[in-house]
Chains A and B, each alone.
Chain A
């Protein structure tokens, strides 16, 4: 019977952000028989047949190296050869024709000429590790010895829509659960009063909510969002969280409502009503638990300054990063932090990459410093990158086209080797050639660091076991600390 009980608790867990079990255990008269009865005839057993077969959640497959993830998404695709993938050969052969065939399906305005374009920024080596970082990221560069720079990233999708979905959901064309939803499904939240997956200022375009949606996973694993399109308003809040009524009024009303619901439960014995009663209580608690986390105003001035808050260029992303740290501290599993869709420099590379990097450099460095000084970096995995990189060949005179064939992302913290440059692109930074890491591999690795096996974290939907990495993905052992 143990399995049935576990099974029921898992079902309970998933409908209520996975800490419902303690609500039930507090009930004195919750007999094993009641559990069995509810489990069997309870909340629309038809609806949950999918879950019944696929209750893999809430269990580590192995010892985790990280407890949570902060994913810093650079929407639009920053250029690897202008940031973290230094290519002297590209600098030397500026203006020359690419000596091999460019990637398929590029814009013909880039490929008809296929001329190499050097980076307008210079590169320097930083830290004990001597990692190369361009002048675009002077602050992040100071953390070189914490960065694990993967220079051989590859992804699928030559256009934003596909590549953004690939990065967030592991597929460029189908509708599938997002990474954060998988993590929430697999591990739940560490904080019973907060969701397990929060997306800060997600984009409405290029798939929009699909990038933090659950697709066919239970709806509870959808991200809760705050802010949108890379902007975080100072008054941003979770939807419906703020009560318009005075606390005393709400409390009085809630009392009445719960009484009604309990009587209804008594008459019907219908298990979902029990779930509804518990979720009402949780909702009420959330109303008081969330605002203190969201309100960054009580952070001391030196911390706010660390993130660049108060300085025009960095204020917005600084607040996003600080909020991410506060959520991470409060136990949220998966945090997605997005810039606006600004990194897409088909033209105006010099001016705009500079502006974009300026807006995020200090906030990101601040986040790394802050996580470290609080001892959070050890078990927080920070991931930085865009949906793809950019071509070393020019588009027009001052632009680069999309490049999922080879680009750079970096990781820091929870379980990865700092000061490491992993993988290589060719001499110009175009195609990944050595120790290639596909987006599927990154996903597999992120799950691995969280204690989840990407082959085992599955969900049965419409007669098939789905997983984040589909039939692909290999854990990149070479980057583990």
Chain B
């Protein structure tokens, strides 16, 4: 039995009048019903226990009338429709109460009787205030700082008009002045140069660059350096990595099967490239959400946009989930959660199970967007030949002349192989039959020998047109009594065409009742067996029905009212509607030479072929891009987020908090993703701009104006400088969403140039630096550490990386080692579940989550790494050898090492100490080899020092 819950039900019970209760009913309630409720239900469902699980109380009449998340608990007089009875009967594995142990049959009987006689209940306490859920007030929410339209504030007045260099400085200074604080002094040129190099390129300046800037530290020189840094490819490598953190980028699935995403790297390089080419942010977002659906001017743009939409496919998935509907909805959830946090700073995923508790996102909002993503195909087929282990979609990339037809064919063939593998292995396991001979019929087929027969049926092989060895007929007797039941099983929940096979002849019955039992219940259609079936002359489609995996699935051939003709029972086929076209094509060429050998392969052969195709295609020009489903559809709201608990159908749409010009609705035949992308980037969606400018600010100043960069909701921290935030958002929008312009503006500001050390007074007054009166120190990121070490040893390979994960294999289950790689870290594979130690130790982004800002932890394992890492020590030895070429006198080598690694010369005490160390470690030896080694040890210590690791 399946229940559909109505959310709207039970809205108007306020005025319900407690009916008068007959004395014997009252006695029955008090003596028998109340004790059961108190003993077994009140612990979780009463005011007294302070628990209201599933939103339900059972301690008063008004409470069960109102009901919980699933609607009213009791329909007086109707036990069969009452959720309370449904759940205590324990028939539905998804809804059993009490949860720990079933009630005794006597107790269940009492409750059934109680409901049947109208549920007399004298407990007439009111529900009290605050119990019923208040609907979200969007009107009010749209006035809050995060959601209201962005308007560009005027620049605030400041006392010290000579201090601001850029407009943004006025906001910062005004804040400081209002607290009677003075900003810190400017950082010294060496610190500033090091800071800006790391912030814009992720690498340290060279000694030559230091010399030049220290000789001319003028603002003009600094501006030239900034412009040059913004033009270097390393800008995209640094800032692209920031975005990859947000996009939870990885080269493997993680989840339960850590399959390598062979094509993910294209997305990574797309991101790096987008930053280097300063792609407008709005286009960047639209391409990632719906690039596959956008029009393209040429094949290059088409390629780029397909690759961009990989964003949606990149998440971790539980590919082995056997309930594929759950897999789909979990995938959708991951997409919504990512989209919400990445673009809007909203935890939209919270609304999967209930209206968001704090922010203006309702459960309906969630399922409106869920419909869009559920109508987008990402997960499909099988990766390894097992029906339970899903794979994902990849699409061929176009070349100048369009998509290479050969490649397209191979990709289609891979999908066909997946589909056939699922079908075949499922059919075998489910007891279904293979297709007849060479006839490439799709789906699951049951022969008459699989049917449960009622009454007497006669076997026959008279007609040659038949499926399998023979068929059966009713001999025109026992009309209405005889029937044949095919109990089927489908590999995944979805829409199927049901077909019935029979050998047509004039003496057959012309109105044979066929009863189909599916997800929606039973339905009867009539079949004329005098007419030749349409599919291969054998199978006649009788309609399309939804079947649930593991749910009701039966086709019954009946005989009632068929007097005057034979009823034939031969076979029944369930074919997924998506497979009909493919079957048609294949049937047309059946038996001919062009028929694909895949159709004739055994399950084992198919699995091998599948492996081969995956392996062959991994280096080809493909994108891990999604595509719209052929028949987009809306999804039901899920009560408490549980896949099996269907609520009302929610039309596809956008969250109601932002009203934009894009409300025209989503065409039936489209998923709505393209429209969603338009809604997201609409000028009316100020949240998008606020979130992105805040992240840019946070990357450059160490803390966001809104400290919780990924949460702009009520539980976020709120802005310290709301006007500055809106000023940046408005400017960013005016400039068309240019990252480089905004970054240039901010880096050239006075605020950016400030020293990280503050005067006592400022530090005392503003210990958390909420007013940005000084710069925040930060540690080098994991990537910056590794890249710097290679850069300093002269070994960094500056050419962009390509498919670096392909070399590793089909999964990324084993720990990766980067010790032999010389490319920038951004190009190295990111293995979910198994990221390289260097990345995890120093707080690299966790690719399972949107991460707009990294945390910075200090743990002893980092110290162990710094002391004992073979990579670091070997690199330090190489740097030691480089030092040996710098003059020959021990003092000059020490000076060179300090200057190169730390950006400064040692003071006399430090020089003495370093020379002492070198003398100790070389044992006083003057051998070049020993000195080189000692220099290497010094280099190791400088690289492991806090001064190297923390940016001023």
B702 within 8 Å of A (CB atoms): yes
Q: A175-B849, A242-B868 are in contact. Are A276 and B350 (CB under 8 A)?
A: no
Q: Which of A208-238 contact B (CB under 8 A)?
A: 208-210, 215-216, 218-220, 222, 224
B731 within 8 Å of A (CB atoms): no
A49 to B852, CA, bound (A): 14
Write the chain B residue with the least CB distance to A164.
B256
Contact of A259 among B350, B756, B843, B913 (CB under 8 A): B913
Q: A175 contacts B318, CB within 8 Å? A: no
Chain A residues contacting B947 (CB-CB under 8 Å) are: 260-261, 264
Chain B residues contacting A205 (CB-CB under 8 Å) are: 257-258, 813
Dominant secondary structure of chain B at its interface with chain A:
loop
A467 within 8 Å of B (CB atoms): no
Q: A260 contacts B941, CB within 8 Å? A: yes
Write the chain B residue with the least CB distance to A161.
B256
B788 within 8 Å of A (CB atoms): no
Q: A47 contacts B855, CB within 8 Å? A: yes
Q: B322 contacts A105, CB within 8 Å? A: yes
Chain A residues contacting B707 (CB-CB under 8 Å) are: 46, 49
Q: B857 contacts A15, CB within 8 Å? A: yes
CB distance from B835 to the nearest CB of A (A): 8
Chain A residues contacting B367 (CB-CB under 8 Å) are: none
Q: Which of B559-590 contact A (CB under 8 A)?
A: none
Q: A162-B256, A286-B860 are in contact. Are A104 and B834 (CB under 8 A)?
A: no
CB distance from A235 to the nearest CB of B (A): 16
Give me 6 A-to-B residue pairs in the complex whose CB atoms sit less than 8 angstroms apart, sorted by A's number: A105-B322, A161-B257, A162-B321, A164-B256, A280-B863, A463-B358
Chain B residues contacting A280 (CB-CB under 8 Å) are: 863, 866-867
Q: B768 contacts A252, CB within 8 Å? A: no
A434 within 8 Å of B (CB atoms): yes
Point out which of B101, B255, B430, B859 has the most chain A C-beta atoms below 10 A from its C-beta. Answer: B859
B840 within 8 Å of A (CB atoms): yes
Q: A282 contacts B779, CB within 8 Å? A: no
Contact of A45 among B703, B854, B950 (CB under 8 A): B703
Q: B857 contacts A220, CB within 8 Å? A: yes
Chain B residues contacting A242 (CB-CB under 8 Å) are: 868
Contact of B763 among A37, A210, A287 (CB under 8 A): A37
Q: B711 contacts A463, CB within 8 Å? A: yes
A162-B321, A210-B833, A220-B859 known; 11 new pairs, CB 8 Å cut-off, are A15-B858, A46-B776, A47-B853, A47-B856, A104-B551, A106-B322, A204-B815, A241-B868, A256-B941, A268-B757, A463-B359
Contact of B101 among A15, A112, A265, A436 (CB under 8 A): A436
Contact of A218 among B813, B834, B857 (CB under 8 A): B857
Write the chain A residue with the least CB distance to B640.
A471
Write the chain A residue with the least CB distance to B327.
A173
Q: Which of B697-746 contact A (CB under 8 A)?
A: 698, 702-704, 707-708, 710-711, 713-717
Q: A252-B917, A264-B946 are in contact. Are A464 and B347 (CB under 8 A)?
A: yes
B213 within 8 Å of A (CB atoms): no
Q: B703 contacts A46, CB within 8 Å? A: yes
Q: A205-B258, A244-B868 are in contact. Are A219 and B859 (CB under 8 A)?
A: yes
Contact pattern, B 308-320, Cβ under 8 Å of A = 1, otherwise 0: 0000000010111
CB distance from B378 to the nearest CB of A (A): 15
A240 to B840, CA, bound (A): 14
Q: B715 contacts A463, CB within 8 Å? A: yes
Q: B768 contacts A219, CB within 8 Å? A: no
Q: Which of B912-952 contact A (CB under 8 A)?
A: 913, 917, 920-921, 937, 940-942, 944-947, 949-950, 952
**Using a CB–CB distance below 8 Å, which chain A residues touch chain B?**
15-17, 36-37, 40-41, 43-50, 103-109, 112, 158-162, 164-165, 172-173, 175, 204-210, 215-216, 218-220, 222, 224, 239-244, 249-250, 252-254, 256-257, 259-261, 264-265, 268-270, 272-273, 275-277, 279-280, 282-284, 286-287, 405, 433-436, 460, 462-464, 474
Q: A279 contacts B859, CB within 8 Å? A: yes
Q: A239-B837, A256-B941, A283-B864 are in contact. Are A272 and B856 (CB under 8 A)?
A: yes
Q: A243 contacts B322, CB within 8 Å? A: no
A71 to B763, CA, bound (A): 48
B870 within 8 Å of A (CB atoms): yes
B861 within 8 Å of A (CB atoms): yes
Contact of B849 among A216, A218, A273, A284 (CB under 8 A): A216
A173 to B320, CA, bound (A): 11
Write the chain A residue with the least CB distance to B326.
A173
Q: B102 contacts A175, CB within 8 Å? A: no
Q: A207-B256, A253-B937, A435-B100 are in contact. Are A244 and B873 (CB under 8 A)?
A: yes
Closest 7 CB pairs of A and B: A161-B256, A40-B767, A283-B863, A463-B715, A275-B858, A159-B320, A46-B703
B431 within 8 Å of A (CB atoms): yes
Write the chain B residue with the least CB distance to A38.
B767
CB distance from A32 to the nearest CB of B (A): 14
A254 to B870, CA, bound (A): 16
B636 within 8 Å of A (CB atoms): no
A454 to B763, CA, bound (A): 40
A295 to B894, CA, bound (A): 41
Q: A283 contacts B941, CB within 8 Å? A: no
Contact of B865 among A240, A268, A276 (CB under 8 A): A240
CB distance from A253 to the nearest CB of B (A): 6
Q: A103-B93, A109-B429, A219-B859 are in contact. Are A158 and B945 (CB under 8 A)?
A: no
Chain A residues contacting B99 (CB-CB under 8 Å) are: 436
Q: B323 contacts A158, CB within 8 Å? A: yes
Chain B residues contacting A219 (CB-CB under 8 Å) are: 840, 843, 855, 857, 859
Q: B858 contacts A16, CB within 8 Å? A: yes
Q: B320 contacts A282, CB within 8 Å? A: no
Q: A41-B769, A159-B256, A270-B777 are in contact. Are A208 and B813 (CB under 8 A)?
A: yes
B825 within 8 Å of A (CB atoms): no
Contact of B318 among A162, A239, A250 (CB under 8 A): A162
Chain B residues contacting A17 (CB-CB under 8 Å) are: 859-860
A45 to B549, CA, bound (A): 50
Chain B residues contacting A173 (CB-CB under 8 Å) are: 318, 321, 326, 330
Chain A residues contacting B322 (CB-CB under 8 Å) are: 105-106, 158-159
A222 to B841, CA, bound (A): 10
Q: A279 contacts B858, CB within 8 Å? A: yes
B595 within 8 Å of A (CB atoms): no
Q: A268 contacts B858, CB within 8 Å? A: no
B848 within 8 Å of A (CB atoms): yes
Q: A215-B848, A224-B861, A254-B867 are in contact. Are A463 and B917 (CB under 8 A)?
A: no
Contact of B913 among A37, A106, A112, A256 (CB under 8 A): A256
Write the chain A residue with the least CB distance to B427.
A108
A209 to B836, CA, bound (A): 11
A222 to B319, CA, bound (A): 25
Chain B residues contacting A253 (CB-CB under 8 Å) are: 917, 921, 937, 940-941
Q: A172 contacts B318, CB within 8 Å? A: yes
Chain B residues contacting A208 (CB-CB under 8 Å) are: 258, 813, 833-834
Write the chain A residue with the least CB distance to B843.
A219
Q: A272 contacts B950, CB within 8 Å? A: yes
Chain B residues contacting A250 (CB-CB under 8 Å) are: 867
Q: B776 contacts A463, CB within 8 Å? A: no
Point out which of A37, A104, A244, A460 has the most chain B C-beta atoms below 10 A from its C-beta. Answer: A104
Q: A46-B707, A259-B913 are in contact. Are A215 and B846 (CB under 8 A)?
A: yes
B183 within 8 Å of A (CB atoms): no
CB distance from A175 to the nearest CB of B (A): 4
B517 within 8 Å of A (CB atoms): no
Chain B residues contacting A15 (CB-CB under 8 Å) are: 857-859
CB distance from A363 to the nearest CB of B (A): 26
A244 to B429, CA, bound (A): 56
Contact of B429 among A104, A112, A277 (CB under 8 A): A112
Chain A residues contacting B326 (CB-CB under 8 Å) are: 173
B489 within 8 Å of A (CB atoms): yes
CB distance from A294 to the nearest CB of B (A): 14
CB distance from B424 to the nearest CB of A (A): 13
Contact of A161 among B255, B714, B837, B843 (CB under 8 A): B255
